[in-house]
Structure 1
Amino acid sequence: MGHLSRRTLLRAVGTAALGTAAGMTIGTPPAAAAVRLGIDYSWGRPRPSAIAAAGYSFVCRYLSWNTTGKNLTRSEADALRAAGLDIVSNWEYTPSEALGGYAEGVRNATEAKRQALACGAPASRPIYFSVDFDATAGQQSTINAYFDGIASVIGRGRTAAYGGYYAIDRLLDAGKITWAWQTYAWSDGLWDSRAELRQVRNGITVDGADCDLNEAHAGDFGQWGGGGPTGTASIYGVLPDGRLTYTAVDVATGRRSHGAVVSTATIGFTPKAMATLNFNTILITDSEGKLYRVDVVTNKDSLVFNQPILLATGWTHDLLAYDGNTHLFGIAGGVLRRYTVSTAKPAAANISSGELVGTGFVLKTLTTTASNWILGTAFDGRLLAYRINGVLTGTGNYIPYELKDSTWQVFDNLTSPGSGVYFGHRPEGSMHHYLDQSPHDGNGADILGLGTVDDTGWTQILLSAQPATIT
């Protein structure tokens, strides 16, 4: 984050190893699902063209009270965007200003909001505020108050934090932030899987400038400026006869780039709800309340899957959706519950017993748009979004938003790969493409209809996109 003393300390103890994951190949997973690399820097000024040429696709840049050249400027932001680089806004003036409590949070957020807008950031994008020291549990109440002050200015949905594992974990658990950027410093080798961003190394050199290395582990990590969504939406479906389908759609153009590939085998039961966990793992419930895991072997030239594995009974949900970040949401009889899925290929023991989010969720469709964000349509045509708290306390567990007050009842399936891209399916077999330009501002005025993917041919009774794969 640009503090010489911390960088010197961390170089002495070594840097954390970059994580890799192994898995089987079943065709070519969407490129957008991969971890993106970016840098953050303070007074150094690597050329945008050199940043892009070095393989980085985003930068994290400062807002602060500093007047000596540390801060992002409009001209720099314009140059970064012209080079196709995304920008993440980060406020930091001093490492420990979070200990100033509520009033300091209000003061800093007010100025951060002004500076971000002046640099061209959309008013809906989050701003990360730094906790750039080894914060203790005893300091957490003051830090929580600091982020309450921030949220009072820019809204909880835009409130984000940078810090070590323990500070980030406590802020997320308390529901004080919606976005998280974790550094390997003060983390004891631990990573909070809910953090969209990870700072994994200090002291790298890019175009002669001293920088830090970062990884984006979510399609939407609060970035702005690099252009519209890009990538591939991987959409699984179930046909009326129980066969599975796979279709890939280019989200920039709305055109199918692969498929539809249809399995020869059927799942062998009457499906009721489904949620795609990852590129080769699907959860499906049946009409008797059984929960199955379906492991896809290949979806490249044909769709082949293993015999469905029975995980549990009592899953009477009408709707399921997975947010790509451990949270599985299910609605049964108007009751919304959240489950934690702790592994990519879960057994029954890897899915929690479920937490009650709330009642009165009488929805026709359900999908997720980001970690702890769900989207659905009501039977009367309303398009509704909900931000779910990180910690569920029994009351006040979510914030509802009405994005549209009518017309969305025409869809019998709604699915999203993230980053404001929505696909609506109509019963006659057409698939429609939408973009919410600011998907977490609680306002649907900026939702654009981008046309029809296909007028006919989508005869699936259930559809589910792999979540959090679009940038």
Structure 2
Amino acid sequence: MTSGASERKAAMGHLSRRTLMRGAGAAALGGAAALALPGRAGADIASSAVRLGIDYSWGRPRPSAIVAAGYTFVCRYLSWDDTGKNLTRSEADRLRAVGLDIVSNWEYRANEALDGYSKGVSNATEAHRQAIACGMPASRPIYFSVDFDASSGQQAAINSYFDGVASVIGRGRTGAYGGYGPIDRLFDAGKITWGWQTYAWSNGRWDSRAELRQVKNGIKVDGEDCDRNEAHATDFGQWGGGPTGTASVYGVLDDGRLTYTPIDAATGDRGNVRVSTAALGFTPVAMATLNFNTLLITSTGGQLYRVDVITNRESLRYERPVHLGGGWTHRLLAYDGSGHLYGISGSGRLHRYTITATKPGAGNITDYKIIEESGFTLKTLTATGPDWLLGTTSGGALLSYKISGPGSWKRHELRSSTWQVFDHLLSPGGGVYFGHRPEGSMFRYVDANPYDGNGKDLTGNGVVDERGWTQTLLSAQPNSVH
């Protein structure tokens, strides 16, 4: 799998697909389109929209040459290797600067998936650390290599390995690279959510659930040894080149009716607005979107309600709001998409709760913590990722916060002025920010790295609409954009 690495791998005492398959021709291309996986927005898999990419290890083709050769993404490696194989932050920044997407893959020993659960834990822990250091958003998946002709008799150990991986990064972020057999068996067993299948050991068969296909080895790009890949899904785990996905924005009108608005993250184009016929029945104060069909909304009386959306496709309908309890005097709410709900009340007190269910009852909102007694005197609030908050002040500053725990947080000033014009700020992930103005306009911004504490890579990307956004509350589904 690691391009140009057969001699190094032999020296390391293991034999990979690259060593065995060098010189083999391109794979037979399967025509079946994969099915969208439930629970993963944007997994619109269609063979008619195939994108081409490459993977490489020690070679370093110039990013501009990769683009000139017609490729739009690269698959790059994380590992325990210290000889120059791994992706670095500077390389990731160069790739992103020319618009290339990046896919993260862990590969060290070809057969280390046979080492079971504990190896999966240690590899996933290090893979996540390295990927985040390179700028990968914490919500993106990582593929882990099964880089040998794995038999069905070895599958139990491989399944255990991927259980270990999932215990660290979550099943929804766990992917595998390998031939048809292990990819098919891992999907069937529910051990992975993402698949990158190589033509090696596959005998012309393709698992339609795999988002990525490695179709040829030993190609040259900018004089460097690479492998050719195809993406058979809109979302194949990529990050960095530009935002992808659909921002799902919920809102509340002044008469209590709910709205749903999809916005294309790549273009900023708005889809049709859906408006409910039913009103909430209470006066809302703050709102947070938990997932594609679950909202939390507080009332003027300090009551917390859960709103379960039935459909937002052709129309917007929801169940009668579920009362979860009183004492919720927060004027701002934000959910980080990874289990933490944040609220601001009083003179800037920041609260944090842990959400333990996709449809939480009162007993699923636990582990209440006061992060800071005062000082978070923000005008707007949203979450950009796990324990990362973004807000504006009445003085116009745009601030980013990394929250580590009670009394432990770091503040970054991305802009010192001009952001006071927005009365709502929302982020669907992927470094995309939407700013709403009181007169009804909506503006779009993209932060190339929302976790670097630096606003130099934050750019304005135009207006979504100059008017028409008359909602009194707005909130975006987290992790719907990457």
Give the aligned partner of residue 239 of structure 2: 223
Matches within 5 A, 1:87-166: 87=74, 89-92=76-79, 94=81, 112-113=88-89, 115-116=91-92, 132=108, 158=134
Give the aligned partner of residue 71 of structure 2: 83
* Aligned: 1:419 with 2:394: no
Give the aligned partner of residue 358 of structure 1: 372
Q: How far apart, in 1, do the equivalents of 2:425 and 2:139 lie?
A: 23
Q: Compare 407-416 and 198-207 and name the one that shifted more.
A: 198-207
Give the aligned partner of residue 296 of structure 2: 283
Q: Is the 8 A contact 2:102 2:240 kept in 1?
A: no
Identity of aligned residues (%): 41
Q: How far apart, in 1, do the equivalents of 2:453 and 2:236 lie?
A: 16
Q: How far off is 1:458 after superposition?
A: 1.5
Q: Is the 8 A contact 2:117 2:164 kept in 1?
A: no
Q: How far off is 1:348 after superposition?
A: 2.1
Q: How far apart, in 1, do the equivalents of 2:316 and 2:447 lie?
A: 31
Q: How far apart, in 2, do the equivalents of 1:467 and 1:352 lie?
A: 20
Q: How far apart, in 2, do the equivalents of 1:449 and 1:280 lie?
A: 29
Count of residue pairs brought into register by the alignment: 395
Q: Aligned partner of 2:253: which letter?
A: L
Q: Is the 8 A contact 1:197 1:218 kept in 2?
A: no
Q: How far off is 1:108 after superposition?
A: 7.0
Give the aligned partner of residue 473 of structure 2: 462
Q: Is the 8 A contact 2:106 2:127 kept in 1?
A: no
Structure 1 residues 74 and 329: CA distance shift in structure 2, 3 A: same
1:438 aligned to 438, 449, 468, which one? 449
Q: Is the 8 A contact 1:127 1:160 kept in 2?
A: no
* Aligned: 1:384 with 2:345: no
Q: What is the DSSP-based 3-state SS (H/G/I as helix, E as strand, rest coil) of the residue aligned with 2:379?
A: strand
Q: How far apart, in 2, do the equivalents of 1:258 and 1:383 lie?
A: 30
Give the aligned partner of residue 375 of structure 1: 390
- Say what the alpha-carbon RMSD is for the aligned residues: 4.7
Q: How far apart, in 2, do the equivalents of 1:340 and 1:215 lie?
A: 36
2:215 aligned to 195, 207, 225, which one? 207
Q: Deviations over 1:110-149 (max 9, x none)?
A: 99345545666689x99979695669989x99x99x999x
Query: Normalising by structure 1, what TM-score?
Result: 0.68
Q: How far apart, in 2, do the equivalents of 1:185 and 1:59 lie?
A: 30
Q: Is the 8 A contact 1:274 1:282 kept in 2?
A: yes
1:234 aligned to 210, 233, 248, which one? 248
2:313 aligned to 300, 303, 320, which one? 300
Could you list the runs of 5+ residues in structure 2 that have no partner in the other structure? Answer: 3-8, 18-33, 145-158, 180-197, 200-213, 219-226
Q: Aligned partner of 2:314: which letter?
A: D
Q: What is the DSSP-based 3-state SS (H/G/I as helix, E as strand, rest coil) of the residue aligned with 1:374?
A: strand
Q: What is the DSSP-based 3-state SS (H/G/I as helix, E as strand, rest coil) of the residue aligned with 2:166?
A: coil
Q: How far apart, in 2, do the equivalents of 1:258 and 1:363 lie?
A: 31
Q: Is the 8 A contact 2:104 2:143 kept in 1?
A: no
2:166 aligned to 175, 191, 196, which one? 191
Q: What is the DSSP-based 3-state SS (H/G/I as helix, E as strand, rest coil) of the residue aligned with 1:343?
A: coil
Q: What is the DSSP-based 3-state SS (H/G/I as helix, E as strand, rest coil) of the residue aligned with 2:363?
A: helix
Q: How far apart, in 1, do the equivalents of 2:450 and 2:463 lie?
A: 20
Q: How far off is 1:80 after superposition?
A: 8.9
Structure 1 residues 136 and 108: CA distance shift in structure 2, 3 A: farther
Q: Is the 8 A contact 1:61 1:72 kept in 2?
A: no
Greater CA radius of gyration, 1 or 2? Answer: 2
Could you list the runs of 5+ residues in structure 1 that have no partner in the other structure? Answer: 9-17, 24-31, 38-51, 64-69, 98-106, 162-176
2:275 aligned to 244, 252, 262, which one? 262
Q: How far off is 1:463 after superposition?
A: 0.2
Matches within 5 A, 1:58-77: 61=55, 63=57, 70-74=58-62
Q: Deviations over 1:349-400 (max 9, x none)?
A: 22223334334211111112223322111121100112233xx3x443x332
